[in-house]
Structure 1
C-alpha cells in the first residue's frame, strides 16, 4: 500500500488472552504478535501502545515541522513558572 510506504504503518494493538496482537489500521496486511506471561500483561502493554499522540501534539513535536508550536508551548510554560514562583 502506497500510503503505508510513504507515511508508515498505523498499528492498532489489542490483547487476545496472553498474546498482544497488532495490525495496520490501513489494511495493508502488516501484523504481528507477542506472547506475555499473563493476560493482564498483554492487556497492559496493548493499552500502552494503542494510543493516539494527538493529545500531546506540540509537547513532543518534531523539531522541523512543528517547531512554532513547540516554541509557543515553551513560552507558555516559562510564563506559568514565573507567575507561580
Structure 2
C-alpha cells in the first residue's frame, strides 16, 4: 500500500490472553504478535503502544516538517531554565 510505504504503518495493538497482537490500521496486511508471561503484561504493553502521539506534537517533531515548532519549544525551554537560575 502506498500510504504505508510513504508514511509508515499505523499499527493498532490488542491482546488475546498473554499474546499482544498488532495490525496495520490501513489494511496493508502488516501484522504480528508477541507472547508475554502474563495477560496483565500483554495488556500493559498494548495500552502503551496503542496511542496516538498527537498530544506530544512538537516535542518529538520530525526535523523537516515541524522544525519551526521544535525550535520554538527549545527556545521556550531555554528561557524557562534561565528564569529559574
Residue in 2 that maps onto 1:46 = 46
Q: Deviations over 1:11-63 (max 9, x none)?
A: 00111110001011111221111111100010111111111111111111122
Q: Distance between the aligned counterparts of 1:75 and 1:28, measured in 2?
A: 40
Residue in 1 that maps onto 2:15 = 15
Residue in 2 that maps onto 1:55 = 55
Q: Which runs of 4+ in 1 moved over 3 A?
A: none
SS of 2:13 mapped into structure 1? strand
Question: By how many angstroms is 1:84 displaced?
Answer: 3.1
In structure 1, runs of 5+ residues without a counterpart are none
In structure 2, runs of 5+ residues without a counterpart are none
Using structure 1 for the length normalisation, give the TM-score. Answer: 0.89
Q: Distance between the aligned counterparts of 2:36 and 2:18, measured in 1?
A: 5
SS of 2:60 mapped into structure 1? coil
Residue in 1 that maps onto 2:71 = 71
SS of 2:26 mapped into structure 1? coil
